[in-house]
């Protein structure tokens, strides 16, 4: 049982990355068939809410069900707005305009971007003469350089032929697969990474205010559903044809993305962070890139460029440099905490011994006998 518990977080994180890879692939396929990214997000969050809300309701205690005060409300609402609504709109627009392999490669920027934003708001300490801080800063710079390399220098084509899809973006009015679309897609994916990083930072106060992870995921899905409906009506209008499901690919995409990509994935992410911390969870992000790139080349016949491949490798190297600095820092903090707890336990033990000694000195061993003699 101990062995299973030890490896269970790693298995869960690998499963999480596999879910993200599958969601990315089927979403890309549906988008190229003409599915609207904004309508897709609405259906995805609707299925996610319907799948996770009943489970969260019946598994939560009565006190947790009634604890959504104003502070919890606006924290979860902001987290849903940044980490789901805006994030997903950026992501799927970039996924449509660029490629699934670039989309998942860009996600490796998230830990470095999170560190950068956290340092700007004072949640992360930066010491220029500290090796760990230098590793985090260096890893962030390398990640950013790799992302710019992927966006601006595609390089020669290594695999698969040019695909003329003839489908245009409703927002940017450019055709998927063109050079302009690649650049706009890269910028959209970068914006998605920034939003996801903000979501990770907002999770700290949100989970402190509302610690029930399952209910937190359900509220996040529900708030993002309301936000996505409003944004889609503003962009797409109330045209009934836009909201119709046109193919089986779309239906599978809605169901799998909603139930697994949102509902199950949000819970696994929160559970993994609570068990091993955010750094452990971030270590597995490159596996999504690897899985997606291989499967996209095989099943979607996506073009693979040398510049994008090299840039993706640079981003992954930068990610692990950053994680090395962060992990060492985490080990040191853990050692400090363990030392503090041990000292506290020693102090409590000594206090108990002293108290016991004091009692023994104040009360004679034969107290009952002396009382009997006095009486």
Q: Read off the pTM.
A: 0.76
Q: Which residue has the higher pLDDT, 151 or 315?
A: 315
Asked whether residue 321 is domain-assigned, the answer is no
CA 5 vs. chain centroid, Å, equals 22
Tell whether 346 is covered by a domain: no
Q: Which pLDDT tens digit goes with each residue over 107-131?
A: 888 888 888 888 888 877 777 778 8
User: What is the reported pLDDT for 371?
Assistant: 45
- How does 128-144 read in b/e, with b if 16+ C-beta sit within 10 Å? eeeebbebbbebbebbb
Total tally of structural domains belonging to the chain: 1
Residue 228 lies in a domain: yes
Mean of all residue pLDDT scores within the chain: 78
Residue in this structure with the two tokens 């016991």, named with its chain if needed: 356
Q: Indicate the Cα dihedral angle 200, 203, 204, 207, nearest 10°.
A: -160
Cα–Cα dist 209/72, whole Å = 6
Residue 22 has pLDDT above 70, yes or no: yes
pLDDT band, residue 230 (cuts 50/70/90): very high
Residue 373: its pLDDT value, please?
37
Nearest to 45 by CA among 72, 77, 81, 85: 85
* 138 within a domain of the structure (yes/no): no
Q: What is the pLDDT of residue 33?
A: 84
Q: Is 147 within a domain?
A: no
- 63 occurs within a structural domain: yes
| Domain presence at residue 71 | yes
Nearest alpha carbon to residue 318 among 110, 173, 82, 142: 142
For residue 80, tell me if it sits in a domain: yes
Residue-wise pLDDT for 244-261, tens only, equals 888 888 888 888 988 888
pLDDT at 225 over 90: yes
Residue 36 is part of which domain span? 2-132+156-306
Average pLDDT, stretch 317-335? 71
């Amino acid at each position: 049982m101990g062995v299973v518990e030890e490896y269970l977080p790693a298995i869960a994180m690998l499963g999480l990355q596999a879910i993200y890879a599958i969601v990315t692939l089927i979403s890309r396929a549906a988008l190229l068939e003409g599915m609207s990214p904004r309508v897709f997000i609405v259906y995805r969050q609707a299925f996610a809410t319907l799948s996770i809300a009943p489970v969260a309701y019946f598994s939560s205690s009565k006190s947790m069900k009634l604890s959504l005060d104003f502070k919890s409300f606006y924290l979860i609402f902001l987290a849903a707005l940044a980490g789901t609504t805006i994030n997903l709109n950026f992501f799927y627009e970039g996924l449509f305009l660029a490629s699934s392999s670039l989309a998942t490669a860009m996600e490796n920027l998230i830990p470095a971007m999170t560190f950068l934003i956290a340092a700007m708001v004072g949640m992360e300490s930066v010491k220029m003469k500290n090796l760990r801080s230098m590793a985090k800063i260096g890893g962030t710079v390398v990640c950013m350089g790799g992302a710019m390399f992927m966006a601006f220098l595609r390089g020669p084509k290594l695999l698969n032929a040019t695909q003329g899809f003839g489908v245009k973006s409703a927002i940017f009015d450019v055709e998927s697969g063109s050079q302009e679309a690649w650049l706009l897609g890269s910028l959209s994916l970068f914006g998605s990474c920034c939003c996801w990083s903000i979501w990770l930072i907002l999770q700290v106060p949100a989970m402190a205010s509302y610690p029930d992870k399952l209910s937190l995921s359900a509220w996040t899905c529900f708030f993002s559903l309301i936000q996505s409906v409003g944004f889609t009506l503003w962009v797409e209008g109330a045209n009934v044809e836009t909201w119709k499901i046109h193919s089986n690919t779309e239906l599978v995409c809605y169901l799998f993305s909603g139930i697994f990509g949102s509902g199950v994935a949000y819970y696994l992410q929160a559970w993994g962070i609570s068990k091993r911390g955010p750094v452990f969870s971030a270590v597995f992000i490159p596996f999504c890139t690897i899985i997606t790139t291989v499967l996209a080349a095989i099943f979607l016949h996506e073009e693979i460029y040398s510049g994008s491949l090299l840039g993706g490798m640079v981003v992954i190297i930068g990610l692990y440099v950053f994680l090395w600095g962060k992990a060492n820092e985490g080990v040191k903090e853990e050692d400090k905490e363990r030392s503090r707890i041990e000292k506290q336990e020693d102090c409590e033990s000594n206090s108990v011994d002293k108290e016991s000694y004091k009692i023994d000195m104040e009360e004679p061993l034969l107290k009952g006998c002396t009382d009997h003699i006095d009486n």
